[in-house]
Structure 1
């Protein structure tokens, strides 16, 4: 399994595989990700989405091809309120080239077909 970045570890994110072997990240609710009373903090959601996208890219590339990833643009759409419960996120690689990658990520709570937020990222891949 791919190691999470320090911010992901601080949030308490746990990587799992779903029934289709897709990489999914779980974010448990706690005071460290609480926003206004009764809601998940938007910054925690955005961080979860960014990490889900980058980890999905690393998962697709494999252990042998691990470039340094530098976000160029990150756009996040908040679609529903995040409530104090388990939140999940997964990334989809829409393009992966030699120097650039485009990734979409989605976060949901009870039903994957009802995302609470989505992001699109353009990433620079710096290879050694």
Structure 2
């Protein structure tokens, strides 16, 4: 698994574990992710979801000899409940991985995985580098 990008590391996001070959990422509650007192900022939650999506996609593409550029086409986030002051986890599921695009769904949760705090749908353009 490749290292997470600088943005993710600056937010405190890290790979927590692997499940079915895909990473589960996590971020602890801290002042840099706080919005209103005691609650995750929506941008921090969105960043966690996006990081989980890209980490899953990079993991799935790791067996290819060429690492393509990944460019977002559309990312839609749904906030389901406030993420409180505890660790938040996220995992992506790749619903389609083609030669030119990928579709993913991502869920973020805290203590109970069956009660997500946010979800996202990601459409990513997969651009192979020119040879």
TM-score under structure 1 length normalisation: 0.94
**Structure 2 partner of 1:31:** 31
**Structure 2 partner of 1:125:** 126
**Structure 2 partner of 1:79:** 80
Aligned residues: 128
Q: Quick one: distance in 2 between partners of 1:36 and 1:68?
A: 35
Q: Which runs of 4+ in 1 moved over 4 A?
A: 18-21
Could you tell me which runs of 5 or more consecutive residues in structure 2 were left unpaired when the two chains were aligned: none
Could you tell me which runs of 5 or more consecutive residues in structure 1 were left unpaired when the two chains were aligned: none
How far residue 65 of structure 1 moved from its aligned partner, in angstroms, is: 3.9
**Structure 1 partner of 2:10:** 10
Residue 49 of structure 2 aligns to a residue whose secondary structure is helix
Residue 49 of structure 1 aligns to a residue whose secondary structure is helix
Residues 24-70 of structure 1 show CA distances to partners (whole Å, capped at 9, x for unaligned) of: 00101100000101111110000100110011011111153421100
